């Protein structure tokens, strides 16, 4: 089955390892699928639980998906907005991009957020200390061709179809408050920002945050799946080894290449770890999945 690709692009998006994450779900989800770092929501759109609590500290992502869910933003709205602003971008060039960026930083319009996400430099969602979107222009004034707009519209339509008839709650909330809502029959999927990488996607992420998350996951009343970086050609993530050593968890290692990043040095192959206390089909072993 083809992976559903969401209309929002985020650094660290898990599109290519969705099948690995899904492989850790060996039992039906009795209650809710909970994500404290929902980001692009690519995993939720592919797991497709009936009930879900999807949270993030980035209110603009939450606002965008909430607007699709409640119908205040439609596929037709997306097409009209991208066609209109795409023509303006082609005529005015980067000046128009920065006009839209300034407008978005004042109003937070979900359609402007989508426009910026698909025309900014390397698809990087980045905010400054004042919460203002500050990623520069991609320098492609003809970005919004008709075929590109159709592609985005199809992605929007696909995620709207997935959400239809489902009990999904989108909320702006930090991970600790989200995890405190978990019950014994829920399943938590956590995809935190990566320590040691440029992570001002919306908030900084520190070693202290990582340790707090690991402690909270360990104390959950339900099962969890955690995805994080394990190693690259420069170094290893010692937190993964420590977490595996001190807890009864399984680790699936996946070779993965990220195409979204602010610099070339952040777009390279890395080993991703999918860590879970679920019982895997291949239980108690660490296995490497070939490059995806």
CA 194 vs CA 23, 157, 226, 249: distances in Å: 22, 30, 12, 20
Q: Which pair of structure tokens corresponds to residue 225?
A: 């799946």
> Which residues make up the CATH 1.10.1020.10 domain(s) of the chain?
70-160
| Strands (E) located in 138-203 | 167-172, 187-190
> Which residues make up the CATH 3.40.50.150 domain(s) of the chain?
15-57+174-289
In CATH, the number for domain 15-57+174-289 is: 3.40.50.150
d(CA 70, CA 52): 15
Which CATH entry fits the domain spanning 70-160: 1.10.1020.10, 1.10.3720.10, 1.10.357.10, 2.70.150.10? 1.10.1020.10
- What pLDDT is attached to residue 267? 53
pLDDT in tens, the chain (292 residues): 799 999 999 888 899 899 999 999 988 999 999 999 999 999 999 999 999 999 999 999 999 999 999 999 999 999 999 999 999 999 999 999 999 999 999 999 999 999 999 999 988 999 998 999 999 999 999 999 999 999 999 999 999 999 999 999 999 999 999 999 999 999 999 999 876 544 455 567 888 898 899 999 999 999 999 999 888 777 888 888 888 888 889 989 888 765 555 455 555 678 889 999 998 764 444 444 433 3
Burial (CB < 10 A; 0-12, 13-18, 19+), residue 128, is: exposed
- What pLDDT is attached to residue 268? 63
User: Which backbone phi and psi does 228 adopt, to 5 degrees?
Assistant: -160, 170
Which of 176, 158, 175, 157 has the alpha carbon at shortest distance from 48? 158
CA 4 vs CA 7, 46, 62, 168: distances in Å: 10, 6, 19, 17
Q: Which pair of structure tokens corresponds to residue 208?
A: 């202290």
User: Which backbone phi and psi does 260 adopt, to 5 degrees?
Assistant: -105, 125
Q: Which pair of structure tokens corresponds to residue 62?
A: 């939450």
Q: Element (H or E) spanning 252, and its range?
A: strand 250-257
């Amino acid at each position: 089955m083809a992976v559903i690709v969401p209309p929002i692009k985020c650094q660290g998006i898990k599109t290519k390892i969705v099948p690995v994450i899904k492989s850790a779900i060996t039992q039906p989800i009795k209650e809710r699928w909970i994500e404290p770092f929902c980001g692009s929501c690519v995993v939720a759109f592919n797991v497709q639980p009936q009930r879900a609590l999807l949270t993030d500290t980035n209110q603009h992502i939450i606002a965008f998906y909430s607007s699709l869910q409640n119908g205040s933003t439609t596929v037709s709205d997306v097409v009209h907005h991208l066609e209109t602003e795409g023509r303006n971008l082609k005529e005015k060039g980067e000046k128009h991009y920065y006009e839209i960026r300034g407008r978005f930083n004042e109003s937070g319009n979900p359609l402007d957020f989508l426009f910026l996400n698909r025309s900014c430099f390397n698809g990087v969602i980045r905010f400054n200390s004042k919460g203002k979107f500050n990623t520069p222009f991609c320098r492609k004034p003809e970005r919004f061709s008709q075929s590109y707009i159709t592609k985005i519209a199809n992605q929007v339509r696909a995620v709207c179809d997935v959400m239809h008839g489902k009990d999904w709650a989108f909320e702006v909330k930090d991970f600790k408050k989200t995890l405190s809502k978990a019950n014994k029959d829920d399943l938590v999927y956590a995809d935190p920002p990566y320590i040691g990488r440029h992570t001002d996607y919306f908030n900084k992420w520190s070693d202290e945050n990582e340790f707090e998350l690991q402690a909270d996951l360990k104390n959950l009343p339900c099962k969890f799946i955690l995805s994080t970086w394990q190693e690259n050609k420069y170094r290893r993530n010692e937190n993964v080894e420590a977490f595996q050593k001190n807890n009864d968890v399984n680790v699936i290692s996946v070779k993965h290449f990220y195409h979204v990043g602010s610099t070339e040095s952040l777009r390279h192959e890395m080993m991703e770890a999918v860590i879970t206390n679920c019982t895997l089909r291949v239980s108690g072993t660490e296995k490497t999945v070939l490059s995806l």
